[in-house]
Amino acid sequence: MRIIAISVDPPETNRELCRAQGYTFPFLSDTNAAVIRRYGLAHENAGPGGSVISRPAEFLLDATGTVRWVNLTDSFTVRARPEDVLKLVDTLKLATPPANPGAPTGAVAVPPGS
């Protein structure tokens, strides 16, 4: 399971944020919002100086890159809660890599948080 964060912030801001918060997962910089637009998440005139930023959104992807769950919040103070996402990862059996096609999914016990 990979966690990937994306915003319009430049790498320097992300480096500072990761250092301050101790985040170890990849923080990617979409400074011209090209990917944000491609994902239909552009929030025009919401950034500094009327720039475009991303509206908050979370996607759970399986190993083939297919969207299995998406959360497009109505309010930017309301985000997906970590415990709910972990539950979904269990329900959708996303923590288990499909190493053995044909084998029943979820047959391997995976410790939580892996």
Residue ranges that bind another protein, judged by CB under 8 A: 1-9, 11, 13-15, 17-18, 26-30, 34-36, 38-44, 46-48, 53-70, 72-79, 81, 85, 89, 94-95, 97-99
Q: In whole angstroms, how close is the CB of 111 to another protein at the nearest point? A: 16
For another protein, the closer of residues 44 and 104 by Cβ is 44
* 69, 57 contact by CB (below 8 A): no
Min separation Cβ 58 and another protein, Å? 5
Q: Given the complex with another protein, which of 67 and 104 has the nearer CB atom?
A: 67
Q: Which amino acid is residue 59, in one-letter code?
A: F
Q: Which is nearer to another protein, 26 or 103 (CB)?
A: 26
* Nearest distance from C-beta of residue 40 to another protein, angstroms: 4
Smallest distance from the beta carbon of 108 to another protein, in angstroms?
14
| CA pair distance 114, 89, nearest whole angstrom | 11
Burial class (CB in 10 A: 0-12, 13-18, 19+), 69: middle
DSSP assignment of 93-105: T-SS---STTSPT
Burial of residue 42, with CB atoms counted within 10 A of its CB: 0-12 exposed, 13-18 middle, 19 or more buried: middle
